Amino acid sequence: MKFSKDKMQIPPLLHQKIVKTGTTRGADDDEIYQNRVSRSSTVLIPFSQWECNEEIRNCASRFVNGYIVLIPPRIYFENNFATEMESRWGLFLGVNALVFYEKRSDWNLHNPEANGWMPATSRKNPLGGQYVARVPATTSLDETSRKKINVGFAGNNGKGAGIRLYEYADAMTIADCKLQLEALFWACHDSVETAVGAGMAHEDALARKADIFKRCGERALLDWDHLAESRIVDSCKQTICPLCLQPICGRQFLSRLAQAEGREVEDLTITQVSLFHINELRYGVFNHRPYNLGWGHHDCNVVVKDHGISETLKWMQGVLDRNRLAGFVPPAPSPHQDFRQD
């Protein structure tokens, strides 16, 4: 999805929020993953997934920037794995596979330097080496063991080897997701008012909204029944939080999260609304896709984490039931009880 530089440009903070949905979650220097890169980047596949999931092996050739299978040292050096990795698994060390060191015991027992191996430096074939290491420091009295081992992919273009397998999406899917997510902003009841308050002319906001809805219609991205079934909008075609089902306001996209007194952070960038995966990201499926992404309250997203909405609701129900049984929460109200005030 392209954002023009003309007068119909959406507010910068909203623009940035939508653009970021096409990138992966953050990762620090001690992780094997890249930090905030495109979801179409090189994919890292744990050997355990390559081994047990034939579908992953079959679709690996479709990853536009390639893939790297990460093999634990104990597997590579034991059970004659090296002799069958090519014939049985289609893996070639330094081409589409690396030995990945995470444990100091593996590093000590199968030291790659003793084997004359080189650390990988490239995310595409040839990878420049045979291994990569992210071994944490320990509290051992041994000075050597207290030092972390971060080797491989330490160049200027990021320090990770690639992205998590389940975060992958191709360029077309990313573009469709961005388009649908902007439409969901415009589906908020106060979206035009919010855009105008952020600097857009009223007629430009209306035109942008109409254009986005038109483009979504052309891409089959505006099936309101499907969106409602997915907990993304309500029966009035207004955007809602997928967990609490409360309406999302346009102004929440541009409002910073309230901070607890005494814990304020000057450069806080978190807004009240964040990207929400309806079906969680997990191995075996690619869930960063249209009709599986919505906008939710930041606090609701924190509660769901990576567990998924269904499992979170079961957990929440258990919490409420136990608190009611203990007398800390009053009995559940009747579904027909009217709370409207005169």
Average pLDDT score over the chain: 89
Residue 180: which of 138, 239, 128 has the closest Cα? Answer: 239
Task: Render each residue's pLDDT in the chain as its tens digit; 342 residues.
Answer: 444 446 679 999 999 999 999 999 877 778 899 989 999 999 999 999 999 999 999 999 999 999 999 999 999 998 889 889 999 999 999 999 999 999 999 999 999 999 999 999 999 999 999 999 999 987 765 666 678 899 998 654 447 999 999 999 999 999 999 999 999 999 999 999 999 999 999 999 999 999 999 999 999 999 999 999 999 999 999 999 999 999 999 999 998 655 344 444 444 456 899 999 999 999 999 999 999 999 999 999 999 988 999 999 999 999 999 999 999 998 877 654 543 333
- Specify whether 206 is located in the same domain as 321: yes
* pTM reported for the whole predicted model: 0.88
pLDDT for residue 246: 97
- % of the chain surpassing 70 pLDDT: 87
27 and 156 assigned to the same domain: yes
Q: Are residues 208 and 93 in the same domain?
A: no
pLDDT of residue 165: 96
The answer to whether residues 44 and 98 belong to one domain is yes
Give the C-alpha separation, 117 to 70, whole Å.
15
What's the number of domains the chain is made of?
A: 2
Residue 341 inside a domain? The answer is no
For residues 162 and 176, membership in a common domain is answered with no
What stretches of 129-246 show up as alpha helix (H) in DSSP? 171-186, 191-197, 202-218, 224-229
Same domain? 321 vs 185: yes
- Whether residue 332 is contained in a domain is answered as no
Last residue of a domain, one of 135, 167, 199: 167
Residue 57 belongs to a domain: yes
CA distance 307 to 252: 24
Report yes or no on 273 lying in a domain: yes
Q: Give a yes or no: residue 9 inside a domain.
A: no
Domain of residue 194 covers 171-325
Based on the domain organization, do 98 and 116 belong to the same domain? yes
Pair (230, 152) in one structural domain? no
* Same domain membership, residue 276 and residue 243: yes
- Both 226 and 304 in a single domain? yes
> Domain boundary at 133, 150, 167, which?
167
Residues 194 and 284 in one domain: yes
Could you say which DSSP state residue 23 is in?
B
Parallel, antiparallel or unpaired: strands 67-71 and 97-101: parallel
Looking at the domain assignment, is residue 15 inside a domain? no
Return the pLDDT at 255: 84
In a domain, 330, yes or no: no
Indicate if 97 and 211 belong to the same structural domain.
no
| pLDDT tens, position by position, 204-221 | 999 999 999 999 999 999
